[in-house]
Amino acid sequence: MDHYVHYEELTKLLKRLTDKYASISKLHSIGKSVQGRDLWAVQITDKINEVEPGEPMFKYVGNMHGNEAIGRQVLIYLIEYLLKNYKHQPRVTKLIDTTNIYIMPSMNPDGFEAASEGDCAGIQGRPNANGKDLNRNFPDQFNNWATYNIEHDAQPETRAIINWVRNSRFVLSANLHGGSLVASYPFDSNSVHIAQDVASPTPDNSVFRHLATVYATKHRTMSKGDPTCHEHFPGGITNGAKWYDVPGGMEDINYLLSNCFEITLELSCCKYPTANHLEQEWAKNKEALLSYIEETHNGVHGFVKDQNGKPILDAVVHVQGIKHNVTTAKNGDFWRLLVPGDYQVYACAKGHRCVMKKINVPKTGHVNVEFQLPVDENANPIEDLLLRMRRDLSNSFSPLTTSPMHYLTDSTLGYIPFSANDLKDVFSKWSKPLTFIHHNYDQMTTFLQNYAKGFPEITKLYTIGKSVEGRELWVLEISDNPGKHEPGEPEFKYVGNMHGNEVVGREMLLLLIKVLCVNYKSYPQIGAIVKNTRIHIMPSMNPDGYEQAIIGDDRAGRENVHNVDLNRDFPDRFDSDAEIRSKIRQPETLALIKWITSNPFVLSANLHGGSLVANYPYDNTPDGQVAYSKSPDDALFRELALTYSNAHPVMNHAKSCPGYSDEIFEKGITNGAKWYVVNGGMQDFNYLHSNCFEITVEMGCTKFPKADRLHSYWDAHKLPLILFMTQVHKGVRGFVMSDDGKLLKRAVITVSGINHMVYTADDGDYWRLLLPGTYNIMAAADGYDSEKKEIIVPHGLALVVNFTLKATKKKPTLSQILPHVVGKPHSDGQKEDVHTLQSTKQPITIKPQYISGFASWSHHNYKQMIAFFENFSQAYSDITSQTSIGESIEGRKIYSFEVSEDAGIPKEGRHQ
């Protein structure tokens, strides 16, 4: 065939071939183009009417851009070659006997009909008939992933491909283009959409590089380069985004939405060469096309079955250390592409226990393995193990799992820096601050307004209130969607200048704003922080005090203009109710209280000056004496403080400030009350009255240094300021919803052994900072049965744990919880329910309930009393605490059972 085959001729040709070779081929239309042309795909396999267990699926897609014609034509040649050589050539026969092959010569038949033969560099016919570039029309993980609607945003051709990919278990694929000579592998877009030179690797980068290399080296010229091309690529391969950013590309969506690994093949520097070049183009690509299909069989493949040998559909196959999973087909079969090496492979399924096998993928390319999973209804739900987000596109991109999260995929989160090494290259190249000056209120206001105007796509300037003298308490929000909480995205805050004369934090926060704004598009690490986090920065909580402060003066301006120390003005955990009600608080304090309790902040730092240390709760003690005062999350707070201290060049050296030789802080951190007691401090208030974990950072020995020293302060604090911020992405996160899909706000999240609760936000999302380790975590909500899970919190990014709570069918009664309570029957023969007990929201409101309907209460012996305590401790762990205060002469423990909103915490000054 020495000419290009247009649509009508192609249709007749494919029908004729599939009729002639009906035992091994079938013609499918997976959809229609804008102008009604069928999107033909030829299926080729030995048992054409069967789904063979263990046989992988492969596809080639050509002519996505209508004017890039070489791919279309070589795929037509390939269809003919495979069909005609089955049972004649052993290699072709083996391919067809062992692989379910699909070949789509043209994804854009309308565009092809509009293109012109011989047009090497033009764009006529590139888009579809609606003028849309189909390789920019898919959902993009870094751009419109959460808002993409398949019915409204996808072109007919795009929609057909998405549904085809979703509904099939393709293992490997290639998308054939023209205009260059290279094998391009995912990801095609980067998190900040920088046009060129920003690589965006997948978790399977080594596999994709191998696949691209196979095609490039088997192609006659791709790996060597073509002198007629204006671009040359080492080895003939490139990461797509490093070449140029392609938001909405097809190869990325194959990887993100399905089991399929896809690369993009640019086959010719001329997009639509004249037909006399077709024979040589087929010769260049033939071996590469066959070799690439053969790669479908490499890696690990096999079956996942239950303990009785029954196949398990949609079991997850996870490779340790690679944040991308595949799932099993209906016969329990799976295919997981891997390069040669040793791996730990896990198979997991809902209602079954995970099984791990150590495997070696040999240099010959593949290994077979079978998993048998024991039934275990208490095993973690499978969504806890999914390390990537998959979505059900049939319902306008609603999530495939129960999570409604608008959170980003792991490929984006993977850029978040957790160490100095992660930021080494950024700091060496990023746009650095050049001006280091002090900013008074007016100058600070102008600075913030300028950045809000200059970067409206990621910033919003707002005020949470006014100071005593009427100055605004400014906050600059930095986020990819400023002005709103995104479900699943954690919120972080920095507060500076609480003491007006402690100014280093104020200036460091202005510099932090600057570097985040000017660098977020240029560096994936900064872009990932901005895109994944809703950041709130308040440079000055005490602007009035600042205006009174003087350089070098340690006292003037510390308090607000009412001479009140704002860090002694918050409600304290040891204040009596009368004290809390009667105290008149400052407007700055009231504004912060409202702000803290109205937003789902997860992590925070309050920046002070006068020492060099990271200080963590608690700040107060029951008797007001200096002593270590542990919070329930003491180990976590220590680690958070160490994160800041260890990132600072000298803070962890434990050197005292001049004139304070007795103040030496081991590793640069301290428990607040062990240093000195603070009644009414802000960090304790954050922890006790919100979900937010806050530490206090003393930025340096001098409270108000000269401006020429600000540069050195910035050099010391830029790394810890950024790394502390990224700690918000650790621990465990997820959503709590009802079994009918309702998002549950104010649901309670508790962790066994840690007497501190957090609550879900309005969208049912929660974040619980935790150190790596094994925990039992529970979600509870009023009117629903609670749910417990055992989890393993990893190092690095937070584990996703979602809860689905079932509505309580009948309210539990005291007689149900305590079987030894005997009720007196009513005249109708039914026992009266008394004293209904349910989980309650915080704050707990107790309504009087009067017990009636019982003739008597039974006595409890020692064992019954212990059971009584255990029943209630388990059912109401959020408001109860059981402690032993000693033993009887016969060795029985004497128990005290506490019922309180914050059970287990001493309550000096409160009625008990």
3-class DSSP string for 387-398: CCCCEEHHHCCE
Residue written as token pair 């059971």: 867
The three-class DSSP label of residue 312 is coil
The three-class DSSP label of residue 722 is helix
Mean local confidence (pLDDT), 27-34 = 96
Say what the pLDDT of residue 192 is.
Answer: 67
Residue 351 region by backbone torsions, left for phi larger than 0, else alpha for psi between -120 and 50, else beta: left
Q: Which whole-number Å values give the CA distances from 76 to 103, 116, 257, 904, in the listed order?
A: 8, 19, 28, 74
Give the pairing type, strands 787-793 and 773-780. Answer: antiparallel
**891: confidence class by pLDDT, cuts 50, 70, 90:** confident
- The answer to whether 292 and 173 have CB atoms below 8 angstroms apart is no
Mean local confidence (pLDDT), 559-575 = 96
Residue 55: other Cβ atoms inside 10 A = 22
Tell me which of 456-460, 723-727, 822-826 is least confident.
822-826
Tell me which of 89-98, 162-171, 647-656, 851-860 is least confident.
851-860
**380: confidence class by pLDDT, cuts 50, 70, 90:** low
The question of whether 294 is a catalytic residue gets the answer no
Which residue among 157, 266, 507, 588 is the active-site one?
A: 266
Mean local confidence (pLDDT), 238-243 = 92
Q: What's the CA gap between 568 and 572, in Å, rounded?
A: 9
Say what the pLDDT of residue 867 is.
Answer: 73
Given a cut of 70, is residue 143 above it in pLDDT?
Answer: yes
For the chain, what percent of residues have pLDDT higher than 70? 88
- Report pLDDT digits (tens) over 4-27: 999 999 999 999 999 999 999 999
Q: What is the 3-state secondary structure (H, E, C) of 532-571?
A: HCEEEEECCCCHHHHHHCCCCCCCCCCCCCCCCCHHHCCC
Residue written as token pair 């030789």: 661
Q: What's the CA gap between 853 and 823, in Å, rounded?
A: 7
Say what the pLDDT of residue 820 is.
Answer: 36
Better-predicted residue by pLDDT, 231 or 156: 156
Say what the pLDDT of residue 832 is.
Answer: 31
The three-class DSSP label of residue 684 is helix
Say what the pLDDT of residue 902 is.
Answer: 57
- The answer to whether 726 and 640 have CB atoms below 8 angstroms apart is no
For the chain, what percent of residues have pLDDT higher than 90? 73
Look at the chain and count its residues.
912
- The CATH label, of 2.60.40.10, 3.40.630.10, 3.40.50.2000, 3.90.180.10, for the domain at 427-614+675-725 is 3.40.630.10
**141: confidence class by pLDDT, cuts 50, 70, 90:** confident
If you classify domain 299-389 with CATH, what class do you get? mainly beta
For the chain, the C-alpha Rg in angstroms (whole number) is 32
Query: 0.85 exceeded by the pTM?
Result: no
Given a cut of 60, is residue 804 above it in pLDDT?
Answer: yes
Say what the pLDDT of residue 823 is.
Answer: 33
- The CATH label, of 3.40.50.1110, 3.30.450.20, 3.90.1150.10, 3.40.630.10, for the domain at 7-296 is 3.40.630.10
Given a cut of 60, is residue 528 above it in pLDDT?
Answer: yes
User: What's the half-sphere exposure (Cβ side, CA atoms, 13 Å) at 54?
Assistant: 11
Residue 400 region by backbone torsions, left for phi larger than 0, else alpha for psi between -120 and 50, else beta: alpha
Given a cut of 90, is residue 389 above it in pLDDT?
Answer: no
Mean local confidence (pLDDT), 577-604 = 94
Give the pairing type, strands 57-62 and 611-616. Answer: unpaired
- Indicate the average pLDDT of the chain: 87
Say what the pLDDT of residue 505 is.
Answer: 98
The yes-or-no answer to whether 7-296 and 299-389 have a common fold is no
Which residue among 157, 489, 507, 698 is the active-site one?
A: 698
Beta strands in 599-674, from DSSP E residues, in sequence order: 601-608, 611-616, 669-671
Given a cut of 80, is residue 432 above it in pLDDT?
Answer: yes
The residues spanned by each domain of the chain are 7-296, 299-389, 427-614+675-725, 732-817, 862-899
- Report pLDDT digits (tens) over 72-119: 999 999 999 999 999 999 999 999 999 999 999 999 999 999 999 999
Mean local confidence (pLDDT), 862-891 = 72
Q: Which two tokens stand for residue 162?
A: 């998405």
Residues 6+ apart with CB under 8 A from 773: 792, 793
Beta strands in 153-298, from DSSP E residues, in sequence order: 170-177, 180-185, 237-239, 261-268
The question of whether 486 is a catalytic residue gets the answer no
Tell me which of 458-472, 829-843, 878-892 is least confident.
829-843
Hey, CA dihedral for 336, 366, 43, 33, is it positive or negative? positive
CA-based nearest residue to 607, from 695, 725, 476: 695
- Report pLDDT digits (tens) over 249-297: 999 999 999 999 999 999 999 999 999 999 999 999 999 999 999 999 9
- Residue 19: in which H helix or E strand, if any? helix 7-20
Given a cut of 50, is residue 514 above it in pLDDT?
Answer: yes
Q: What's the CA gap between 215 and 213, in Å, rounded?
A: 5
Beta strands in 158-244, from DSSP E residues, in sequence order: 170-177, 180-185, 237-239
Q: Which whole-number Å values give the CA distances from 639 to 613, 667, 709, 724, 769, in the listed order?
A: 13, 11, 29, 10, 11
Q: What's the CA gap between 888 and 885, in Å, rounded?
A: 10
Q: What's the CA gap between 192 and 582, in Å, rounded?
A: 51
DSSP-derived letter for residue 352 is: B
If you classify domain 732-817 with CATH, what class do you get? mainly beta
Q: Which two tokens stand for residue 225?
A: 């380069």
